[in-house]
Amino acid sequence: MANITAPRPPFRSHLKNIVSNADPSQYGLPTEFTKRPGFNQTGKAIQLPVNSYEVTGLPQATIYQYDVIIGNGAEKRMVQQKAWQSQARRNNVGQDCIYDGNKLAWSLKNYGQIKFMVDLDQEQGRGPSRDGKNAFRVHINPTKKLDISVIMAYLQGKVQYNNNVLEAVNFLDHLMREGPSNNARLVPVRRSFFARNGQRMDLGGSIEVFRGVYQSIRLAQGAKMVVNLDVANSCFWKPQALISTILQKNNWRDPSQIAQQFRNYEQVRATQKYLKKLSVKATYKGNKQPDTVWKIDSIAKVNANDHRIMWRDPQTGKETGEQVTVAAYFSRRYNLNLQYPNIPLIQMTKKMKGQPVYFPMEILVIVENQRYGAKLDETQTANMIKFAVSPPNQRLAAINDGKSWLQWETDTYLKNYGLKINNQQLITQARVLPAPGIKFKNKVEQPGTKGRWDLRQKQFVNPNPNELVSWGIGFFGGRTNLDKGAIEKFAMDFVKAYRGHGGAVSNNKPFIQKVNDDPGKAVEELFQATGNNFRRRPQILVFLVQNRNAQHYLRIKKSCDKRFGVVSQVMQAAQVQKGNPQYYSNVLMKFNAKLGGATSQAVPDRTSGNSGSFPVPTLFIGADVSHASPGSDQPSMAALTVSYDRFGGRYAAGCQTNGIRVEMITDSTMKSTLGPLISNWMSEVGGGRAPGQVYYMRDGVSEGQFMKVIQEEVPPIRAVLDKLSNGKWPGKLTVVVASKRHHIRAFPKQSDGDPKGNPLPGTLIERDVTQPNEFDFFLYSHIALQGTSRPVHYTVLLDEANHPPAALQNMIYEHCYQYMRSTTSVSLHPAVYYAHLASNRAKAHENVPASSGPQGGAGFKQGQSASSDTPRSSEVPSLLTWPASTRVEYSMWYI
């Protein structure tokens, strides 16, 4: 890293010979969202290497675009691929034509209109297709000349992003993929490429993970195009005997168990689900087509001892009229005695002479390099995380290794079309923003660029406003033996720790009892007994549990939240037994927040440009939508959080179902959830008036959904504010999207990074890899405990307040130091972080009986539901309502 040079000259100097022929008048404005207002000048400037590579030359030649129709135009993707890869296609259009695998093709040649037939049977040496069923007409029709120069017009801010720009970038994206996709050593998965001889690891259960390379070409700030390279990890089936795979997937001892287990239809159905369309080869001595690839259709109801087939004369191949079992056929024909003839046969998708094709399971082998797309189990997930997490130096080495696979310098497609890429990492001018101080009631901590602090001898900035009097501790029986005396000691130590942090607790001891093993009954018992003991409604209930059973936890929360309207704290009995003061302090941050307090407040550095207080009454709204596990019918959960103090520390949260796999928050959900929250904010924080400034922080939407946020989610927010203002709301709205789903990573010099090689908290990237015209930036606001840290990508869609860059960027960074349950800065603005917590917790609020078991998430097994993963907006039941008059919905119940 010591040989890092200064940043290369801007893109336009490399491409000055490209003249834009685009007419700006036909396109309009450069961006439909907020335009970048400038750059941040606070903090310290650094030269920061990022995992992007500058494009130094774009195609100059005329490029012809074609529409491609194969067969009836609606053939399966596999048929389209085989037809395009055929010798007949090569003979008609040559090797250099690029195809997107669906409808479009590009070439440097003007072919005119081309029509020809592709016989896939003939291509595979099987002779002409019977009745023409495997023969397809290919129609390639010229549509336009591609205008690459429009990219420069957009980059220079002369035209808006439009269909012409989209088509040109789409072509370059496919051009980048064409070479590696045709490399027999690589396995393409969308924009990622994997190699069997690359890094890989066995995850268990017949699945292995490959480390590959992700590649994407992007338009960027500074009139640039860049190629973003990153590590990609993907799961594949192990190429091994099919029978071994089934044993490992189900954790069965030996093949005899397969026949026994497959007597159960549900077991057969579950196994068929993951075997469907899996490619296999039949391996046995004497097989005349050992390289033929078959696809599994199903598990047959018959085995090799039951199923009979016609015997054919080995010399003539003609049927003799004799029927023999499959087991006898292999014995007589190939001198192969099947070891497990009682295991069901496997039926293939292909038919031979109109008849189904069956194979004994024991002679089938899974073909290599087949992607595994189903949900991993807990062990596999843990192994996957170990493999995927790598420190910055290892990640950069893996990126460079992947870059060598792509061979940009020798790629014939890139050469033919004239696309050139700088082989050296791009170095951007970044900044390290000034870190805030952390204000407690009795002192201010200055963490600097460490990004962490501790709670020793510190009092919460806002302890609980009402003295804690009525509270109960319930403990479940189990392996951690806690008697009443041990729990009384815990209660005494816990209270002492809380008072040390400034908490107000009466001298009365909490009510303590052992509770029923059933979580619902346990909550009822403790709530009633605690209330009777203190003759007043419980303020909080504490439960000491024996394990991390997620369903047990959610049932406790469901009863506390929706049945009795009381906040609760769940603690591990084993941790309580240890009595670690740091554990108590960590829990007390949440405990205090649930009782109405706040842990700490960020104090902006004097050079930040922010004062820490807002010039007008300000409201933060965080939004997130969480979706169910694959295969689950559980509805999506929309969560909206609203700040509930003057510095954006405390947040109330409202949640509601949001259809099934529907990402955009519906109009009705937005209004019904936000209305009460903002109304309560007005009475408790705003002095009876609507806020003057609202920040809407939205998580989880892709770039393609940005306009939907403006069109579908912003209007109901305004409608709520208008209604509460008794007319048109006079305030200003700022809409910011936060995303972690991107591949930008930075690799700082030793002097600009932390000891592990990650960027320091406060590192801001707003040039070279950001959008050309829009107000977006990448922000590292946290320290990485392990692996390579990932910045959050913030995009400002709307800013009616016209913030200077530093005002908004530094404020977002500073608020990451106010996350209520942590003594570190966090990676995401708390409004969004809390929305994420609330949307996941709200799954406990479904009106579903406990006997139904997990509906999604931890404990849910794929295959329990017949649901597909396709988005649908079907009506789903609402969540349980909050108990009347408890006001628990305005607390931090979700934290």
Share of the chain above pLDDT 70, in %: 93
What pLDDT shows up at residue 58?
94
Does residue 196 lie in a domain region?
Answer: no
Same domain, 672 and 741: yes
Same domain, 624 and 688: yes
Same domain, 700 and 728: yes
Residue 242: closest CA among 360, 370, 330, 352: 360
Q: Is the pTM of this model over 0.85?
A: yes
660 secondary structure, DSSP code:
B
Mean pLDDT on 826-847? 95
Same domain, 467 and 527: yes
What pLDDT shows up at residue 450?
94
Same domain, 529 and 617: no
Predicted confidence band of residue 874 (pLDDT cuts 50, 70, 90): low
651 secondary structure, DSSP code:
E
User: How many C-alpha atoms does 646 have within 13 Å on its Cβ side?
Assistant: 11
Does residue 46 lie in a domain region?
Answer: no
353 secondary structure, DSSP code:
T
Does residue 715 lie in a domain region?
Answer: yes
Mind spelling out the 3-state secondary structure of 561-624?
Answer: HHHHCCEEEEEEHHHHHHCCHHHHHHHHHHHHHHCCCECCEEECCCCCCCCCCCCCCEEEEEEE
Which domain does 290 fall in, by range? Answer: 242-366
Same domain, 548 and 647: no
The CA dihedral of 404, 183, 64, 155, to the nearest 10 degrees, is: -30
How far apart are alpha carbons 637 and 626 in whole angstroms?
5
Same domain, 647 and 587: no
Q: Is the pLDDT of residue 814 over 60?
A: yes
The CA dihedral of 243, 247, 253, 255, to the nearest 10 degrees, is: -30
pLDDT digits (tens, 9 = 90+) for 259-282: 999 999 999 999 999 999 999 999
What pLDDT shows up at residue 482?
85
Residues with Cβ within 8 Å of 521's Cβ and at least 6 positions away in sequence, in order, are 515
Same domain, 871 and 749: yes
**CATH code of residue 283:** 2.170.260.10
Mean pLDDT on 180-196? 95
Mean pLDDT on 441-452? 95
What pLDDT shows up at residue 3?
38
What pLDDT shows up at residue 873?
47
Give the number of other Cβ atoms within 10 Å of residue 446's Cβ: 12
Mean pLDDT on 201-213? 97
Same domain, 350 and 493: no
Say which amino acid occupies 392.
Answer: P
Strand-strand pairing, 540-545 and 567-572 = parallel
Same domain, 548 and 648: no
Does residue 157 lie in a domain region?
Answer: no
Q: Is the pLDDT of residue 292 over 60?
A: yes
Q: Is the pLDDT of residue 312 over 90?
A: no
**CATH code of residue 838:** 3.30.420.10
User: How many C-alpha atoms does 838 have within 13 Å on its Cβ side?
Assistant: 29
How far apart are alpha carbons 460 and 499 in whole angstroms?
10
pLDDT digits (tens, 9 = 90+) for 434-444: 999 999 999 99
Mean pLDDT on 366-372? 96
Query: Which of 366, 384, 413 is the endpoint of a domain?
Result: 366
Same domain, 863 and 717: yes
What pLDDT shows up at residue 31?
64
Residue 282: closest CA among 359, 195, 375: 359
pLDDT digits (tens, 9 = 90+) for 22-78: 444 444 445 689 999 999 999 999 999 999 999 999 999 999 999 999 998 889 888
pLDDT digits (tens, 9 = 90+) for 395-404: 999 999 999 9
Mean pLDDT on 309-315? 86
Query: Which of 366, 395, 415 is the endpoint of a domain?
Result: 366
Residue 602: closest CA among 796, 437, 391: 437
How far apart are alpha carbons 798 and 600 in whole angstroms?
30
What pLDDT shows up at residue 296?
97
- In order of 274, 374, 593, 852, the CA distances from 270 in angstroms are 7, 12, 45, 19
| Cβ atoms of 800 and 748 closer than 8 Å | no
Does residue 38 lie in a domain region?
Answer: no
Same domain, 589 and 691: no
Burial of 1 (0-12, 13-18, 19+ CB in 10 A): middle
Does residue 550 lie in a domain region?
Answer: yes
How far apart are alpha carbons 662 and 598 in whole angstroms?
34
pLDDT digits (tens, 9 = 90+) for 517-576: 999 999 999 999 999 999 999 999 999 999 989 899 999 999 999 999 999 999 999 999
Bridge partners of residue 325, in order along the sequence: 308
Does residue 53 lie in a domain region?
Answer: no
Query: Which of 129, 147, 165 is the endpoint of a domain?
Result: 147
User: Number of folded domains in the chain?
Assistant: 4
Say which amino acid occupies 558.
Answer: K
Does residue 442 lie in a domain region?
Answer: no
- Bigger pLDDT: 660 vs 238: 238
